[in-house]
Amino acid sequence: MNSKAASIRTLLLWSVVFLLLVATIAIPGLNILTLHVLLVPSLCLFLLAGWKKSLITILLCLAIAAVLLPSFWLITVVAATVIPAGIMALVYKRKNHAPLAIAAGALTILAELVLILGLAKLLDYDPLGFMKEMSDDWVNNLPASMRQGMNTDAWIQNARLIFPSVLITISTYFAWITHVIARWVARKSGMLLPALPKIRSWKLPRSLVWYFLVLLILQALLKPEGQSTLNIVVMNLFPLLTFLFVIQAFSFLFYMVHARRWNIAIPWIAFALLLVWWDATLLFTVLGVLDTAFPLRDRMSDNS
């Protein structure tokens, strides 16, 4: 009886949370925060209340959402969150492996984004055109002295070229943030979800160094203003690999702090430096490449 009552409470609690998020997704400004946690209610329902009850509850919530939301696209976005949440819950229950759950969630979100964009294209809706209108409105509201040199056409053109890498980054980010929040919620509810490995143990495959070097050479040879297929591939892969090597650099810093028993604040200070001085990306990228290509950690362990 207690178990049944607890299950009902869980269904009611996350149904209310789901509907509250639905109510805020149409509010400008607040909807940015809502998007960060939109997958969490469905994931928590799947994890805590069972598949059958969760699906019925989510379908009822979606029916209410269809009444509350004024836009077909908002309803589509809300409904699309259910599938990656279900995929992540399935991986958690069967494999109990956090990186695999995040990867599965990210790939599902990416596939859904591509499908939604394809549907938008069929319905003659241009998301980037909408972004351009918003950018133009924002720029036009700035003082004349600040508007000089701002070219929204160039921004949107660049956005079109790097759209694949943007979609991959967004998908991975939302899968990761969903894992972080859902793990905290599950722990509060007495369920332990697997954690990601400690950052100091992260290590990229050495083959990525060669791919990165090839991209560097191609970037030096290709015309910056070119829009060939090769140009677009390089423009999308280069920032992704750079981002991975920056993460690898922080992994090395955390390992170094752990191995040498230095102050844990060191990698966080480095992170703050990166936030305020974006040119430091080059330094961290080089460090990440060196850590991946050479056995720096083994030498550090030998000397410690």
Q: How confident is the model at residue 223 (pLDDT cuts 50, 70, 90)?
A: confident
Q: How confident is the model at residue 190 (pLDDT cuts 50, 70, 90)?
A: confident
Task: Read off the pLDDT of each residue in 205-233 and give the average, rounded to a whole number.
Answer: 85
Per the rule left: phi > 0, alpha: psi between -120 and 50, beta: everything else, 29 is left
Average pLDDT score over the chain: 82
Q: What is the pLDDT of residue 33?
A: 82
Residue-wise pLDDT tens digits, 123-143: 777 666 666 665 566 556 656
Whole-model pTM: value is: 0.82
Q: What is the DSSP string of 96-143?
A: --HHHHHHHHHHHHHHHHHHHHHHHHHTT--HHHHHHHHHHHHHHTS-
Q: What is the pLDDT of residue 119?
A: 81
Instruction: Indicate the range of 50-59, 148-157, 163-172, 182-191 predicted with least confidence.
Output: 148-157
CA nearest 45: which of 54, 55, 35?
54
Q: How far apart are CA 96 and CA 188, in angstroms?
A: 18
Task: Read off the pLDDT of each residue in 161-182 and give the average, rounded to a whole number.
Answer: 89
Q: What is the pLDDT of residue 48?
A: 79
Task: Read off the pLDDT of each residue in 201-208 and give the average, rounded to a whole number.
Answer: 91
Q: How far apart are CA 262 and CA 14, in angstroms?
A: 43
Q: Is the pLDDT of residue 163 over 60?
A: yes
Residue-wise pLDDT tens digits, 262-278: 888 999 999 998 888 88
Q: What is the pLDDT of residue 1?
A: 45
CA dihedral 260, 262, 268, 273 (to 10 degrees): -90
Q: Is the pLDDT of residue 211 over 90?
A: yes
Task: Read off the pLDDT of each residue in 197-203 and give the average, rounded to a whole number.
Answer: 89
153 sits in which H/E element: helix 152-161
